[in-house]
Chains A and B, each alone.
Chain A
Amino acid sequence: MGSSVMSQTSYTPEQLLGRLNDVEAKNAPKELFVAGDVELLRAGRRVSVVGSRDVSEAGIRRARKLVKALVAQDIVVVSGLAAGIDTVAHTTAISSGGRTVAILGTPLDKYYPAANKNLQQSIMSAHAAVSQFPSGYPATPKNFPMRNRTMALLTDATVIVEAGEKSGTRHQGWEALRLGREVFILSNVAENPDLSWPQEMIAYGAQVLSAEGLEPALENLPAYTDRMEVDAFAF
């Protein structure tokens, strides 16, 4: 099952998701380095919680409420370990007794941001952290949109909690729509008149998620990426 380097193990995306269709294969990394419980990437439902690094108090409250609802549905909370929404997503998942996966824009042996070193180590030991970048791979800005596309691939849905007009989270939303995954935009973002991209994304399939719509949306969420039982399945 891949080559083990220290506490990392490498997998192909197919080893986690089964055979990819060509839409999925287009932007999929060749290899994924995983530290922690790889089963979090193989079974059950996973939802990405993404948003700005500079997050408002209201954004923090909304992210916490969302993550608690995900944990209550036994859904794995996936985020990018950045400052802001990502950090709130991971820490809330852990404190609520849920499971979380961090998809990094740096190799697993780097800590970025440095302030999240303890959180990253905690996730690698008790949950799971994933990177498509091998040790020694340089950290450049282009890593992060690549990481976001990988996060879209590995999850059943993406929820955009708070994001500006030029936010990198847009990359993930568009990639998730391209892959046929669900994209939810919290209503405060969707209805923000200063933003142009939410309405465009909604026209191509993103759903507006209100507080009242959260529970039914999560109950009906398909498990697109839970596929490892297919060979034994009686069709």
Chain B
Amino acid sequence: MLSELPFAARYIYSPRGQSEVSDKSRRIRDWLKAAFEPALAKMAERVRIDVEEGEYAEFFGADVVLVPVPGSTPRKDTSTLWVGERLCDALLAEGLAGSVSPYLVRNHQVPKSAFQARGNRPNVKTHYDSISASADLLQPPRILLIDDIVTKGCTLLACGSRIQETLPDTNVKAFAMLRTMGLIPDVTQTADPCVGVISALAGDDANRAP
């Protein structure tokens, strides 16, 4: 299992804040989770502008393969919405990577974090055990895991570990469009690009900084 995974994110959101900005931040969350294409396209465009200005530029590039993070349950069939895949497509359309590969699959359901109390959320091992690497993928130099929302980072750390064990020479990083700010009551802005690290903690837990 990886002990650390570099990550970047663009937006922040407050799950329960009452301010107008917190409410706006939840609109971003909702449009992301609905894979609302006009919103995804605008978010991806903003990421491309960030990269052009030097923000998390080392995460993207023509040699990067974008790998969508599986949702919390298996897809019943290929016509089922996969938000991570739609996000990858939007980022690819902005020229931020070379290709997209649905390399990881969820084999069985884990509880949805959004509907679980803090102590009941699936940990890194739970995610790791439910995810496998599916498709053949030639060892690319760089993989960027793409997720819609990162909370503590348990899912991303599990996905990164799965990739690292099958593609040991590939550099793996992660990008989430939105990161939660659950410990502060309100956010004062929706965009807050960051680069940080997700670290493994004891008890199969994870910590995200920032």
Residues of B within 8 A of A (CB): 15-16, 24, 26-31, 33-39, 42-43, 45-46, 71-76, 79-81, 83, 86, 108-109, 112, 114-115, 191
Contact = CB atoms under 8 A, between A and B. Distances in A.
Interface of A: 18-19, 21, 23, 26, 174, 177-180, 202-205, 207, 213, 216-217, 219-220, 222-227, 229-231, 233, 235
The A contact surface, by secondary structure, is: loop
Contacts of B191: 235
B35 A222 contact: no
A224 B72 CA distance: 18
Contacts of A18: 36, 38
Contacts, number: 91
Contact of A203 (B43, B81, B109, B115): B109
A56 B141 CA distance: 61
Q: Which 6 A-B pairs have the closest CB atoms?
A: A180-B81, A205-B73, A224-B34, A222-B30, A235-B42, A23-B81
Contacts of B27: 223, 226, 229, 233
B36 A227 contact: yes
Nearest to B39: A230
Contacts of A178: 76, 79-81
A179 to B, nearest CB: 6
Contacts of A213: 115
Given A174-B76, A222-B29, A223-B27, A204 B109 contact: yes
Contact of A207 (B71, B79, B112): B112
A18 B76 CA distance: 26
Contact of A21 (B28, B35, B46, B112): B35
A213 to B, nearest CB: 8
B73 A226 contact: no
A235 B29 CA distance: 12
Contacts of A224: 30, 33-34, 36
A87 B143 CA distance: 52
A23 B42 contact: no
B13 to A, nearest CB: 11
A222 B27 CA distance: 8
Contact of B76 (A204, A222, A230, A231): A204
